[in-house]
Structure 1
Amino acid sequence: MKHALTTSLLAVALLAAMPARAADNAADGTLVERGRYLATAGDCVACHTAPGGQAMAGGLALASPVGAIYSTNITPSKTHGIGNYTLQQFSDAVRHGKRADGANLFPAMPYTSYAKTSDEDVAALYAFFMQGVAPVDAAAPATALPFPFNLARPFLGVWNALFLDAAPYQADAAQSAEWNRGAYLAQGLAHCSTCHTPRNLFMAEDLKRSLGGSELGGWYAPNITPDANSGIGNWSAPDLVRYMSGQPVPGKGSAAGPMVEAIDHSLRHLTPADLQAIAVYIKSVPAVANAGARQPADSYGSQTDALATIRGVALPKEHDAMTGPQLYDAYCAACHQAQAQGSDDGSLPSLFHNASLGHADSNNLVQVMLHGVPRYGVDSVMPGFAHELSDAQITTLGNYLLASYGDPQAKVSEPQVARLRAPPNADATLVTLARVGLALGVIVVLALLAWLLRRRKA
């Protein structure tokens, strides 16, 4: 009887505990899913997944002016990932650029933006990475920068002291809840400024020109401030929401390059309310004017063609001698139509009133012609022609497109095409300047030491 009574009491205790455990499991699941959404907002998978590799296992070569920086394995692997990280160590890495072993992360990891993330959201991210990501027991390639940048990691603490604002986002009581939500996402996890803000001599964001446009990895991340000519002053909030959702915006254009990655991996998966909040915030930031911007980038060009110049004209024997209209007719007209008006349903954009052709920096136009517009999880919208067209042909076609449908003062050059055709490398000039500067510094120090020794002997 005593045994039966004990068994009964144990059963009652277990039954009583079941709702609490179920509630705990549900809470854990909710936290993991919240972390999954936040990791999507932060676009973690785009940088921490190599082409053809496993999700979050690292190994992607991130182009920088000082050389390729390889992303790390951030799966919960205990041998090669972050499986042994505590919540505090995870927070230090995400918001302060500090690894569990105390080493500094290179600022290619946008921890300067992620620093704005709240404690609660960091805890949710931690739950997702520890419980919602499959561990991958494989090492990512080690970053090997050219001298002297290979010695820079220990000195990044000084860089952080100068340029890292480690304070989490503080809501502005004078603004609406929607605006604050947009600011929190845009300044933090969405890290808009990482690409769209120019850098200073020390590769830190120039906060005086925040979101004013910058070149990154061979692409031009345009000015997204509300400036009427230099930025997106004539874009409405619904235009921005449509763009971030991955849809072409009639009369404005569509995304390409790294922005497509950000859209396909991150932005288009956010809730409509969050996209609207980001749009509201972006429309409110201080306008930044770029020198030389005469009119909005999406206002150039008109529907026209040059068919009369090629009708009845034989193609030259040397294909590099083909004219712009001939190249357009052969490679562009089938999709963008004879007068560059695009498809009737808007899925293939027109080339006039297209921001990609209206910037003074023509890198994006060249990149798209060479490498196309690959999409992630949706159908690609444009193939690349790097395997078919020579540098001379890309140059001729690019200048024809700019003269006919874009900013006629913008130009494409053959050296530019050759540079963008190959994977980006370290900026040779920057590396040389750093080496010369280091050598001069050593000479100055040695000269100072010699002078002090002479004085002591005297």
Structure 2
Amino acid sequence: MSNPSPHLGALLIIFAATALAGNCRAADPPHQAAAEIKRGEYLAIAADCAACHTAPRAKPFAGGLPIGTPLGTIYSTNITPSTDFGIGRYTEEEFSQALRRGIRRDGANLYPAMPYTSYAKFTEEDVRALYLYFTRAVEPVEQRPPSTSLPFPMNIRASMIAWNLLFLDSGPFVPDRNQSPEWNRGAYLVQGAAHCGTCHTPRGLLMQEEDSRALSGAQVGPWYAPNITPDPISGIGRWTKEELIAYLHTGHLSGKAQAAGSMGEAVEDSFQHLAAADLDAIATYIKTIPVVRDPADRVSRFSAGKMSSALAQLRGRDGIRSDSESDPGGAELFQGNCASCHSTEGQGSKDGYYPSLFSNSATGARNATNLIATILYGVNRTTSERQAFMPGFGGHPTDANPLSDRNIAALGNYVLTHYGSADTIITEQQVAEVRWGGPSSPLLALARGGMAAAAVIVLLGAALFIIRRRGAAAWRAKRTAPCT
């Protein structure tokens, strides 16, 4: 058998190179495509795509993570280049439509749990870089995640068409010529890739972000994303720019805050990996956004509380006694579960690993949601600096004696009274709500009520129409009947 023609070999090499290039522009040299893919990877980190599209102990970007919302559970999708279960058949334009308009390849609408309202700010160049990264550099995973099935009528995805018409600003980011390049870069990241408003901006009745109160704090499942405007009382106005950068990079700021919940994930998966210049740009922008003050806030959540201990009361002849062994008081619960790490006086450990319970945002805020959630779920955050860990006391299948809602309310109230916002009271009902994923939205009941009312109106209208037709028919029959 003769050797293949060298010309045929050259043609095969050219064909293979063309196939590998895929959707890259023909004019783009290989190094440029590689640079775009690298930028796409960085943007995927900045957008924290892995946090939602990677389930625990699962393959990257394969989806299947259950995301609790006030309207039900939404499962993230597979965004690997799998042709059967992921985005392998998406064109760049279809990818852009999903990313920035919330419209899937099949024309169905995504729910805004996928923050396309923020990703709409992406430039065409960055969308292309993301597309190349996800379709060329991510490993395909042949796995179908669970389907989202929200309760009626929220399961009607076409309703999002009207929602998008009302609330989606589909225009890309436009730089402010009156601001510095650093400020504009920060605005682009905060408003777009980092989608800070998705968590920190309160939502209206229809689950839309209330732009007039941007970044002033909002409920995110069982956690509360606090006010991060530059207001010195309600927000983070007393933080220096350097402190904000340090917090974004490590999730830790001694004497002020510890990142947990969704923010802990954002630090671990996204912010700690961003370039120093981008963190600086984000801090520059955040320090200039409009302040929002809650009139009910009298002191900063970072300065509330003081060192205190009830240990002496527990040891004396007239010591504190609970009503029963199964229902200990807050002081006993604190000494038994918290004091070994946070100290009997609440000042934390000397090295700062275990934070102080006073001058702490979780205990100093009037909204006690994050204190409840921290006790229930704990903290587990790993950065290049160190790991931050606190066990949750809400109970796991392997726990023999988890704290009840009543226990956690008692413990939380003890902590607030001695170390934080003493005027705030935690109830068992609040603990139960946080334990089960946070408050639900009245929108579901209103939508069902509205549809029921509309159905009644339609039925009444139909009945009235039939009655009138029958009446008219009877009248005509009487007019045309022969005289007798």
- Structure 2 distance, partners of 1:143, 1:299, is 43
State the identity %. Answer: 48
- Structure 1 distance, partners of 2:282, 2:361, is 20
- Structure 2 distance, partners of 1:383, 1:366, is 13
Contact 1:246 1:260 in 2 (8 A): no
Matches within 5 A, 1:290-439: 290-312=294-316, 313=319, 316=322, 318-376=324-382, 379-387=387-395, 388-423=402-437, 427=441, 429-439=442-452
Contact 1:265 1:376 in 2 (8 A): no
Tell me by how many angstroms 1:253 deviates.
1.7
CA distance 1:112–1:247, shift in 2 (3 Å)? closer
Mean CA deviation greater in 36-45 or 272-281: 272-281
Task: Specify which of 265, 282, 286 is matched with residue 269 of structure 2.
Answer: 265
- Structure 1 distance, partners of 2:277, 2:320, is 56
Contact 1:213 1:224 in 2 (8 A): yes
TM-score if structure 1 supplies the norm length? Answer: 0.91
Tell me by how many angstroms 1:317 deviates.
7.7
Contact 1:68 1:426 in 2 (8 A): no
Tell me by how many angstroms 1:412 deviates.
1.2
**1:129 to 2:129 alignment:** no
- Structure 2 distance, partners of 1:243, 1:319, is 41
Mean CA deviation greater in 295-304 or 180-189: 295-304
Contact 1:63 1:425 in 2 (8 A): no
**1:59 to 2:60 alignment:** no
Tell me by how many angstroms 1:25 deviates.
2.9
What is the identity, as a one-letter code, of the residue corresponding to 2:100?
R
Matches within 5 A, 1:176-195: 176-195=180-199
- Structure 1 distance, partners of 2:49, 2:382, is 14
- Structure 1 distance, partners of 2:195, 2:111, is 16
Q: Which residue does 1:161 correspond to in 2?
A: 165
Larger Rg: 2
**1:105 to 2:118 alignment:** no
3-state SS of paired residue (2:390): coil
What is the identity, as a one-letter code, of the residue corresponding to 2:224?
Y
Contact 2:313 2:320 in 1 (8 A): no
Q: Which residue does 1:231 correspond to in 2?
A: 235
- Structure 2 distance, partners of 1:319, 1:231, is 42
Tell me by how many angstroms 1:123 deviates.
0.6
Q: Which residue does 2:456 correspond to in 1?
A: 443
3-state SS of paired residue (1:149): coil
Matches within 5 A, 1:203-222: 203-222=207-226
- Structure 2 distance, partners of 1:247, 1:443, is 53
3-state SS of paired residue (1:188): helix
Map Cα deviations across residues 163-192 of structure 1 (whole Å, 9 max, x no partner): 000110000011111110000000000000
Map Cα deviations across residues 21-80 of structure 1 (whole Å, 9 max, x no partner): 9x9332222211111100000000000111221110111111111100111000000000
Tell me by how many angstroms 1:297 deviates.
0.8
TM-score if structure 2 supplies the norm length? Answer: 0.87
CA distance 1:254–1:203, shift in 2 (3 Å)? same
3-state SS of paired residue (1:27): helix
- Structure 1 distance, partners of 2:162, 2:109, is 10
Map Cα deviations across residues 206-250 of structure 1 (whole Å, 9 max, x no partner): 111111111111211111111222111111111111111124212
Q: Which residue does 1:281 correspond to in 2?
A: 285
Task: Specify which of 125, 129, 149 is matched with residue 120 of structure 1.
Answer: 125
Tell me by how many angstroms 1:376 deviates.
4.7
Contact 2:375 2:408 in 1 (8 A): yes
Which 4+ stretches in 1 moved above 6 angstroms? none
Task: Specify which of 35, 40, 45 is matched with residue 35 of structure 1.
Answer: 40
CA distance 1:209–1:307, shift in 2 (3 Å)? same
What is the identity, as a one-letter code, of the residue corresponding to 2:57?
G
Mean CA deviation greater in 44-53 or 440-449: 440-449
Mean CA deviation greater in 141-150 or 287-296: 287-296
Tell me by how many angstroms 1:454 deviates.
5.5
3-state SS of paired residue (2:434): helix
Mean CA deviation greater in 194-203 or 311-320: 311-320
Tell me by how many angstroms 1:162 deviates.
0.8
Tell me by how many angstroms 1:314 deviates.
7.7
Map Cα deviations across residues 433-458 of structure 1 (whole Å, 9 max, x no partner): 32122100111233334445556675
Q: How many residues align?
A: 444
Contact 1:309 1:325 in 2 (8 A): no
| Ranges in structure 2 where 5+ consecutive residues have no aligned partner | 1-5, 18-25, 396-401, 473-484
Matches within 5 A, 1:83-102: 83-102=88-107
Q: Which residue does 2:145 correspond to in 1?
A: 140
3-state SS of paired residue (2:381): coil
- Structure 2 distance, partners of 1:453, 1:269, is 68
Q: Which residue does 1:252 correspond to in 2?
A: 256
Contact 1:320 1:393 in 2 (8 A): no
Tell me by how many angstroms 1:159 deviates.
0.8
Contact 2:205 2:443 in 1 (8 A): no
- Structure 2 distance, partners of 1:90, 1:167, is 16
Q: Which residue does 1:3 correspond to in 2?
A: none
Tell me by how many angstroms 1:316 deviates.
4.6
